[in-house]
A and B are shown apart, each in its own frame.
Chain A
Amino acid sequence: AQKITQTQPGMFVQEKEAVTLDCTYDTSDQSYGLFWYKQPSSGEMIFLIYQGSYDEQNATEGRYSLNFQKARKSANLVISASQLGDSAMYFCAMREYMDTGRRALTFGSGTRLQVQP
């Protein structure tokens, strides 16, 4: 079963506007971590932001914020004041216990964001 779901294959946003990238997750664990990564066309994976399941405040990192709604099991990424350099693939990921009893990170299928001038 899909643990991380990103329902938006592609998104467009105008430069300087805000955009929300959706992510829902499924887990029975009480302790887990949620991450967002950016992958520009050059291919590297860039860590953006982290939210722990017990964190009471939504995480923020500069223009990135994570809208964490635990009851809904959603962890949406909000990018404020979009820039052309934000055009990339964005992946939501969750660290949780695998069947082996050890934690690993599983990823969603990604959302391709294109920022238009």
Chain B
Amino acid sequence: NAGVTQTPKFQVLKTGQSMTLQCAQDMNHEYMSWYRQDPGMGLRLIHYSVGAGITDQGEVPNGYNVSRSTTEDFPLRLLSAAPSQTSVYFCASRPPTGVAGELFFGEGSRLTVL
């Protein structure tokens, strides 16, 4: 039961470095998304995808890039990390069910940018 797998779980970067947070799901879910969680602000949507080849911006997309070349994978790229991107990142997926259907979350990736 792999579900949604995120790697790495922890990462420390220096300002200006780039990195990719990996997200993979084995449930054949069309919809995938990335959130960041900051204290007092809940989860904010960064980018989401309704299927391979389709990505959209969420509430806080600046500084992040995504691509969706396969149904299984939805990587999140930080091109030039900034301290403001220090956060816990969650990847989540769900099957196409209209308004219903809960999100399946990964375990989160804690990123610190110095």
Contact = CB atoms under 8 A, between A and B. Distances in A.
Contact of A104 (B45, B88, B90): B45
A103 B105 contact: no
A72 B19 CA distance: 44
A50 B102 contact: yes
A33 B100 contact: yes
A47 interface: yes
A56 interface: no
A51 B1 CA distance: 27
Contacts of B48: 102, 104
Interface of A: 4, 6, 9, 31-33, 35, 43-45, 47, 50, 52-53, 91, 93, 95-96, 98, 100, 102-110
Interface of B: 33, 35, 40-45, 48, 50, 56-59, 88, 90, 92, 98-100, 102-103, 105, 107-108
Majority secondary structure of chain B interface residues (helix, strand, loop or mixed)? strand
A93 B100 CA distance: 12
B24 to A, nearest CB: 17
A104 B44 CA distance: 11
